[in-house]
Amino acid sequence: MFTDLPYTTYITVLLLAFLSVFSTLLGVALAIYVVKSEQAIALGIGFSAGIMLLVSFFELVPEAVGDAGMGLALVAVVLGDLPPTSGPV
């Protein structure tokens, strides 16, 4: 399955995995050692949500458009943005 990937792809994946681990550890260290305030927590959650949206729209959506076409990708984005229907909202 992955035998046809070039060697540099493996290195890139490994470096991105280490970056993910490092950023997670940094976030944990900040959460433990920084004075906890509601404003800091709100800022952190807002920043994280912004990064997730950035990754979604600049990486995942163009790939979905290339694989499935504009119509299906648009339907998937709209349906993914709808709030859940079960449970309290």
| Cα–Cα distance measured from residue 13 to residue 21, given in angstroms and rounded to the nearest whole number | 12
Considering the domain architecture, whether residues 59 and 76 belong to the same structural domain is answered as yes
72 — pLDDT class (breaks 50, 70, 90): very high
pTM for the complete prediction?
A: 0.48
Considering the domain architecture, whether residues 39 and 56 belong to the same structural domain is answered as yes
Residue 62 structure tokens: 């163009």
Q: Would residue 71 count as lying in a domain? A: yes
Q: Would residue 86 count as lying in a domain? A: no
Considering the domain architecture, whether residues 46 and 71 belong to the same structural domain is answered as yes
87 — pLDDT class (breaks 50, 70, 90): low
The domain containing residue 40 runs over which residues? 35-81
The reported pLDDT for the residue numbered 57 is: 81
Considering the domain architecture, whether residues 58 and 40 belong to the same structural domain is answered as yes
Residue 11 structure tokens: 């290195």
Asked whether the beta carbons of 76 and 64 are under 8 A apart, the reply is: yes
